[in-house]
Structure 1
């Protein structure tokens, strides 16, 4: 992430996703959780449909793999993930919710091992998973009782697992749809699923929806649909193409910081030392799970590994392999090889 544009998009994404938890907290004051999640997806789906129509992208599923990918993405990555997340946040603060969901990159490797053939998990990732789970337990017990805090953390942990399972399963499909139409289908399927669950849930009723849509709740819904969902996913996919998944996964640990600050400054929430310690354990677990990728990203910055400048200095008749410049005419230099280290 070397350009100012990439840094700006990364910060914007962390803010868009981090502040979403505060907006959810505001909307849950008047709206039941599953209905609220469904309404959020309604708005996002309309925006995605408009975007697909504007660019003229092919949106019709043509193969069985297309439909399977849509079903998995809509049912798990969108519907299941958001439904459990909104339910969980009725029990815990926005900052705690964001921190627990940062466990997603840690639980993904063992799920890939279980669901995908030829996947392997290394010892550091096993230790990282243990640290991440220990962090979740610390956060669950940070409320001082085995009441709503544990229930909320359990629901959020389920949200993280459902998202990770959906992500792993989509790796096995080979959809012909591009990302934008696929996300549009997933948002629509997730919205329909959550509306059906909300209708079937006795505790939720749409009868008082008009009264529940206060100015604050309507603003929260609009913010979630436009900024956190549509804008957030746009920034995510641009960065995914430019910097790659490993570097972009760091946003999972920037957005909880934003969520905690927003919750403290605007909603009067407090973050306990146990919660901070739990987040530190989750972060340490992430580092262990992604240690190879993080080393590849960070080594050139601190002077290790191949770098581009020496390779770029090679002349037309030189040969560059893995960052080393092999000189075609050794008489030009005192040595025969220049290393990029």
Structure 2
């Protein structure tokens, strides 16, 4: 039996099932991140919270990369361009705006609003590539998605802070989308683990600088009781360092369409954990908006989505 290798169909089946488990685990982890952030914001200002989270997460990824013997030195524009753009947009600005918005927006609502990212991505990509236009069905998908967001947001002039919070979360979705579209790792020489460690570090340093400059965001404005320390460590290590490692591992195997769908798997977990730990209740408008955003995405990427999901189902059945 030495040297025996299981049939290809068996290996494919095991890999597909493992990917499903990792996918659901990542969605659950990132769903809990909204709840953990909401809890930590009770005693830590939003920009400072984001800075501390990614300081710790970046150090953890560097430690893992060094222990694995990976090269850690960026080697030119091919490495530095995605590191700087991804660090500033996808880590720094995105999380500063998201955490600031979460001061008045419940975790499940924030997670649902970020469901706009897969809807915005094709539209932003087509702006970046002027020769590629949206088909009528794609335009309809964008409009349906925005209608869903309007249903979730339902601006309330009598509650200005909540409306501002929704606007900040939507701005964080836009910033994430721009970074995701413009970041190009094709010419990178660093491996994915080291590249992500540097990206997190650049974002963390940008957040550190913002926490020093912006009023009310310094360490003097924060307190760190034991519960908050626990939430911050959890944010940094589980949905942060481990979450990003799993995300990029799956992204390499499954591609951007399947990984874009994770934005629609996260809100139920955020709602569940928010209900269990914080007593949050989700209203019908949020549920209806979530369905509309999902429908908009399906209009935009329906054909490609069907092909990908059919291939994944075939792999599981093989």
The answer (yes or no) to whether the contact 1:34–1:86 under 8 Å persists in 2 is yes
Equivalent residue runs for 1:288-299 within 5 Å: 288-299=299-310
Count of residue pairs brought into register by the alignment: 303
SS at match of 1:286: helix
- Residues 26 and 120 (structure 1), Cα distance of their counterparts in 2 relative to 1, 3 Å cut: same
Task: Provide, for residues 247-275 of structure 1, a one-character-per-residue CA deviation record: whole Å limited to 9, x for no partner.
Answer: 22221111111001111121011111111
How far apart in 2 are the matches of 1:143 and 1:92?
Answer: 13
- The unaligned stretches of length 5 or more in structure 2 are 1-11
The structure-2 alpha-carbon separation of the partners of 1:173 and 1:117, relative to structure 1 and needing over 3 Å to count, comes to farther
Are 1:93 and 2:106 an aligned pair? Answer: yes
Deviation at 1:28, TM superposition (A): 0.2
TM-score under structure 1 normalisation?
0.83
Show structure 1 runs of 5+ residues with no match: 313-341
Alpha-carbon distance in structure 2 between the residues aligned to 1:263 and 1:180? 31
- Asked whether the equivalents of residues 59 and 181 of structure 1 are also in contact (C-alpha less than 8 Å), the reply is yes
State the alpha-carbon separation in 2 of the partners of residues 286 and 234 from structure 1: 26
| Aligned equivalent of 1:214 | 225
* Pick aligned residue for 1:49 from 53, 57, 62: 62
CA offsets 1:113-155 (integer angstroms, 9 cap, x no match): 1113543322222111111111111111176845222211111
Instruction: Work out the CA distance in 2 between the residues paired with 1:172 and 1:117.
Output: 21
- 1:177 positional shift: 2.0
Match runs of 1:20-99 below 5 Å: 20-99=33-112
Match of 2:296 in 1: 285
* Structure 2 residue 132 is the aligned partner of structure 1 residue 119: yes
* Distance in 1 between residues matched to 2:308 and 2:84, nearest whole Å: 34
What SS is found at the alignment partner of 2:82?
helix
2:275 is matched with which residue: 261, 264, 267?
264
Superposed, 1:162-311 pairs within 5 Å as: 162-171=175-184, 174-209=187-222, 212-299=223-310
Structure with higher helix content: 2
Larger RCO: Structure 1 or Structure 2 (Cα < 8 Å, ≥ 6 residues apart)? 2
Q: Is 1:154 paired with 2:205?
A: no
Q: TM-score, normalised by structure 2?
A: 0.89
- Gap change, CA 1:264 and 1:215, over 3 Å in 2: same
The answer as to whether partners of 1:21 and 1:259 remain within 8 angstroms in 2 is yes
88-97 or 243-252, larger mean C-alpha shift: 243-252
Q: 1:301 to 1:206 in 2, by over 3 A?
A: closer
User: In 2, distance between residues paired with 1:235 and 1:288?
Assistant: 28
